[in-house]
Every structure is written in C-alpha cells, then in structure tokens.
Structure 1
Amino acid sequence: ASTHATDNKHHILLAASGSVATIKLPLIAAALAAHPTVSLRLLLTPSATHFLQSQSAEQPALESLAAIPRVDAIYQDADEWTVPWVRGNSILHIELRKWAHVMVVAPMSANTLAKMVHGVADNLLTSVIRAWDTTGLVDLYRKKLILVAPAMNTAMWEQPITGRQVGVLEGEWGVKVGGWVELLRPQEKTLSCGDTGNGAMYEWTGIVREVERRLGL
C-alpha cells in the first residue's frame, strides 16, 4: 500500500458479494475507470464469482475485467493466504484497507450485511470491512467511507432482522450521524427471481454518481 501513497490517484476498492446484481459490477467498474485519476481494485466473494463466468455479454468472465483501464487487480479469497505467513510478510486485508480511499460494496448480499453488522470476518471482503479504520487515526488519513448497496429478495429485505441491521448502518455508523458508512437503499422493481417489491440494488449509475461526488471526480 505504501508504494501507492503518493501516486495522486483516487483509490477505489470495488467489491461484490453473492447477489444477481453482481452482473452490474463490470458497468460500475468501467464507468469509474473513465476517470484518469482513478485506480481500481476489485474484490469478489466466492458466491459473487458465480455470476461472472462468461454466461453472456452481460456476464463476462471475471478475468476479463482486468482489461478495463485502471483496474489494477482482482482479488478473491484464495489471494489472502497464498503461502504460510512469516514475520515481516504483509497481510492482504490490511494492505487493501490501507490502500483504499473509499470502499464500495455493490451488491451487498443479505449474508454480507449480517456479517458486517455483527463483526464476522470469515472471508477477504468481510476481513477488510472488519479491519476498516473507522476513525482515520490509524492510517493517518481523513475518515474513509464504505458505501454499501444491499441487494436481496423482497422477503429478505422486509424481514425484521434486516431492519435492525440497516438501523445499525444508518443510525449508529452512518455518515449522517458522523460515521463511516453510507447505505444506498435498494429500489422497488420486479426482481430476477420474478418477485416484485423492494430489494433490487440501487441503480448502478446512481452508485457511480455517489462515488464521484464523494471523491470529487
């Protein structure tokens, strides 16, 4: 991370967890990469990778996203511990935390939402979230944001436990109360499963605009 500290780039860590809305990740990445001052790194959970395996033009192979300009790297869980750790070696989820100026989780599945709120760190994505510098005092940088865009079935979104978890992100950790999380609430539409209701990910173009606004792009 230190080698990038003075590159004068906006470092965006763009992550996706297990939701159909992962198919919007290539569009988000390409739109953000249109800015020459941006440096992008992608991070996907194992479930998210199932949606980007060359199924269609809308779902290209994950590896092909490396060809998008300014995408510097693509990370998965297997990249965390590639060799037995010894003293002096870096730790990937900490390095990604240090490198990023902003983290965007789009989509954030119901599972990852629950993990974030309860502090579970059982994969690379949730380990970065759990290690996030929520005060700005550790990395000696202004408080850095995590933007999350939940996406899930309507019944999942409407469950009481989801409401309590959203309450933590907005009411306790949200930017409006001086926190570090900006939650982009899902929209109502007919979902891929055929159900109609709330739960579809915030429009991908809106996610791009929000990142641009936050970084002054």
Structure 2
Amino acid sequence: MTECSKHFCDIKELPTEIKVYDDNNEWTMWQKRGDPVLHIELGKWADIFIIAPIDANSLAKIANGLCDNLLTCTARAWETSKPLILCPAMNTKMYNHPITDVHLNLLKSWGYHIIPVIEKTLMCGDTGVGAMADVKTIVDYLINICTKKV
C-alpha cells in the first residue's frame, strides 16, 4: 500500500491472513547484498498485478519510469509477459487533462491493461468522469484475463 492509499482502507479491518506491505517494508526487509528485495520478490510471486485505484500521481510516475516507492518499484520490475492492470481514479479535471491520455496510451503501448473510468460522484463531491470502475467490472476483467478471454 502507498501511504496515501491508507486513507481509503483501515488495515486493522482486513482479515489477518492478508499480508499488507508498504514503503517501510520495501526499505527495511533487506540489509545486505544478496538479501531478498521486496519489489523483486513480489514480481516473482504474483501472476497478475492490479493497481486499483491508481491516481494521477502514481500513473504519471509509472509512465515516466519513476520508482520512489514500493508500488512504482514493483511496476518498474514487473515482467512484461504477465498482466499489469490499471484502474484509474481521479477528479474529472485531472482525468480530462491531456497528459492523462498521453500516459494511458503510453502504458497501453507497453501492454498494460487499462480498465476505463466511469462517471459518478467523486470523493471530492463533484460528479463526472474519473471514478474507478465498479468492483464487479474489475473482477469480471480479472476472470477474463485468467481464462484468457482478454
């Protein structure tokens, strides 16, 4: 989890069998050369990488190759042979900015999957496009990826 994502989820409410990693784990799990590095280990472990939601900041970081946190380091090290799925979520004004389309198209050209945003009331209270797709839409997309229908 990124630090900002913790605003949307109370880690204490998650089932105990769910392991949550954050930036602190990224920088403290290894001590010396040869120790496992978390963002590399996550890439080896997982078959699919989904970022839901991905905000404008993380989208821009990944599109520009920045890797300053666990999320962006994992994305940068992700094997292109495995699906990486992005579920954008941002204010309409940010979503409609021309750079968002540039970033999304660039990431699509790299083989990333983008689940389109929807229109609804956003976190800030505005109504418009930019909201993350419904969970059912995302789950259906994942099922299709797993059954090779996408």
> What TM-score results when the alignment is normalised by the length of structure 1?
0.64
The residue type equivalent to 1:100 in the other structure is A
Whole-Å separation in 2 of the counterparts to 1:51 and 1:189: 18
Residue aligning to 1:45 = 2
Matches within 5 A, 1:58-73: 61-67=10-16, 71=18, 73=19
Residue-by-residue CA offset, 1:20-63 (whole Å, 9 max, x unaligned) = xxxxxxxxxxxxxxxxxxxxxxxx100001222xxxxxxxx213
Residue aligning to 1:207 = 138
Q: Indicate the RMSD between aligned Cα atoms, in angstroms.
A: 1.6
Whole-Å separation in 2 of the counterparts to 1:107 and 1:84: 28
Residue aligning to 1:194 = 125
Query: Relative to structure 1, is the Cα distance of residues 94 and 84 closer, same or farther in structure 2, using a 3 angstrom cutoff?
Result: closer
Matched position secondary structure for 1:67: coil
> What TM-score results when the alignment is normalised by the length of structure 2?
0.92
Whole-Å separation in 2 of the counterparts to 1:133 and 1:160: 28
The residue type equivalent to 1:127 in the other structure is C
The residue type equivalent to 2:13 in the other structure is S
* Superposed displacement of residue 189, structure 1: 1.5
Residue aligning to 1:87 = 33
The residue type equivalent to 2:88 in the other structure is P
* Superposed displacement of residue 185, structure 1: 1.1
The residue type equivalent to 2:8 in the other structure is F
Query: Relative to structure 1, is the Cα distance of residues 81 and 197 closer, same or farther in structure 2, using a 3 angstrom cutoff?
Result: same
The residue type equivalent to 1:96 in the other structure is L
Matches within 5 A, 1:153-168: 153-168=91-106
1:118 counterpart = 2:64:
yes
Ranges in structure 2 where 5+ consecutive residues have no aligned partner: none
Query: Relative to structure 1, is the Cα distance of residues 189 and 84 closer, same or farther in structure 2, using a 3 angstrom cutoff?
Result: closer
Ranges in structure 1 where 5+ consecutive residues have no aligned partner: 1-43, 53-60, 135-142, 174-178
Among the aligned pairs, what percent are the same residue?
A: 43
> Aligned residue pairs: how many?
148
* Superposed displacement of residue 78, structure 1: 0.5
* Superposed displacement of residue 133, structure 1: 1.4
Contact persistence 2:29–2:36 (CA under 8 A): no
Query: Relative to structure 1, is the Cα distance of residues 83 and 100 closer, same or farther in structure 2, using a 3 angstrom cutoff?
Result: closer
Matched position secondary structure for 1:101: coil
* Superposed displacement of residue 84, structure 1: 5.9
Query: Relative to structure 1, is the Cα distance of residues 102 and 206 closer, same or farther in structure 2, using a 3 angstrom cutoff?
Result: same
